[in-house]
Amino acid sequence: MATVISPVADVCRSAKRAAAALAQIDTVVKDRALESIAAALEARLEEILAANARDMQAGVEADIGDALLDRLRLDDARVAGIARAVREIAALADPVGEVISGERLPNGLDVRKVRVPLGVVAVVYEARPNVTIDAASLCLKSGNAIVLRGSSSASHSNAALAQIAAEAAVAAGLPQGSVNLLAGGGHDELAELATQDRTVDLIIPRGGERLKEALQAVATVPVIYAASGNCHVYVDASADLDQAEAIVINAKTQRPGVCNAAETLLVHAACAAELIPRLVRSLGAAGVLLRGDDRTLALAAAEAEQAASGAGADAVRAVVQEAQEEDWETEYLSLTLAVRVVDSLQEAIEHITRYGSGHSEAIVTKDVSAARAFQRGVDAACVYVNASTRFTDGGEFGMGAEIGNSTQKLHARGPIGLRELCTFKYVVEGDGQVRA
């Protein structure tokens, strides 16, 4: 089999051998392999959907929830999108060999800083079968071998996708072991993978806080955490309220079960009296439950009193509940939004600093100085002015796809694409120089 499902150490050693060969393979061969993968996904669509149907049925029976089911689901359009992303990655410039900087030293040595693959990248992820192909494609294009470990909830989908990708890659000229899958080993398997520091160069976990904590407890391999997203939208006093309403609705409802969806709305007191009743109506109509502070509750109550009928008033009251302290730090991944009224831009920044996860934060404002203060004051991987947080995505950023969004500050931050899957080496050329 091209995709290996076997003891962890054996898989990682196989990937290490493949990585040594991949680092030297020409761009044209890697691009041909990616095109082969995309074509195989399209040709074997029925096989993929049949495997996914088994996972979906098991997910329904296990009652994993709508958000996870949405992440798990594949259909014709989503598979076509995955194949399209593979081709977009193939069309991107190859980062391997890129000269980051270079100079000639006074002693005549030529020093160049050159981008090179990391080697073996392990990706640990939950209920997102598209990650199987996105991650494999990004790693292959950047000259890395990959070890995939998905969740049991997507086991059939991941197995089908990884097998298709591995077979297509080998047939196109990439080495055996370039794409590898681990499955079925539970927490012991995860712990063993996290300690393969002689063969694995980097682990990227893509999942919730429990996965992060499990790796932090045991990992000896370097880890970039594609962590949770407690994202905020702050509506400033000067905001265009039509624009603000559209951004809030998109950030919360366009796809609520993903890490770049908004989880908390902060509204400046100067525009709260007009904006919050509008949002109570529009978000309520979209099925969103609001968890509000005292001022939000008061504005919602006033809106209920003005409702044309008893039924209308009851509908408004049903939309808004009292927020508790834990609501400000919760990544709902559902149609729930915490709402707080603040008295200043600085108060909004302080709230985000206290509760945010460093993922994506947005301000809606017409005040340039407020926008600049927000950009400077908010510490996050992505900071938006007058745009939805939903754009934090490798595909949207022109990277073709992503393995995840890093909320760390070292090596990679934000979408993890081709360049983030590389390190560098210094290449030094001389003409017989020796050090005195």
Tell me how far CA of residue 118 lies from CA of 108, 115, 150, 425, in angstroms.
30, 9, 21, 11
DSSP 191-211: HHHTT-TTT--EEEEES-HHH
Q: Is 368 left (phi over 0), alpha (psi -120 to 50) or beta?
A: alpha
Q: Could you tell me the two tokens for 164?
A: 């298709």
pLDDT at 308: 58
DSSP 33-51: HHHHHHHHHHHTHHHHHHH
Residue type, 266: L
Rounded Cα distance between 158 and 182, Å, is 10
Report the top-level CATH class of 8-226+403-429.
Answer: alpha beta
pLDDT at 1: 43
Residue-level pLDDT, tens digit, the chain, 436 residues? 445 556 899 999 999 999 999 999 999 999 999 999 999 999 999 999 999 999 999 999 999 888 789 889 999 999 999 999 999 999 999 999 999 999 999 999 999 999 999 999 999 998 889 999 999 999 999 999 999 999 899 999 999 999 999 999 999 999 999 999 997 667 889 999 999 999 999 999 987 778 888 899 999 999 998 767 999 999 999 999 999 999 999 999 999 988 999 999 999 999 999 999 999 999 999 999 999 999 999 999 888 777 655 556 666 767 899 999 999 999 998 999 999 999 999 999 999 999 999 999 999 999 999 999 999 999 999 999 999 999 998 889 988 788 888 988 888 999 999 999 999 999 999 999 999 9
Length of the chain: 436
Tell me how far CA of residue 402 lies from CA of 29, 353, 371, 399, in angstroms.
21, 26, 28, 7
pTM (2 d.p.): 0.86
Pairing relation of β-strands 405-406 and 414-415? antiparallel
DSSP 365-411: -S-HHHHHHHHHH--SSEEEESS-GGG-STTTTTSS--S-EE--SSS
Tell me how far CA of residue 82 lies from CA of 40, 46, 86, 299, in angstroms.
11, 15, 6, 44
CATH 3.90.78.10 for domain 231-391: no
Rounded Cα distance between 350 and 232, Å, is 12
DSSP 107-135: TS-EEEEEEEE-SEEEEEESS-HHHHHHH
Q: Could you tell me the two tokens for 411?
A: 């090596």
Domain boundaries, the chain: 8-226+403-429, 231-391
Query: Within 10 Å of residue 291's Cβ, how many Cβ atoms?
Result: 23
Residue type, 271: C
Rounded Cα distance between 219 and 206, Å, is 15
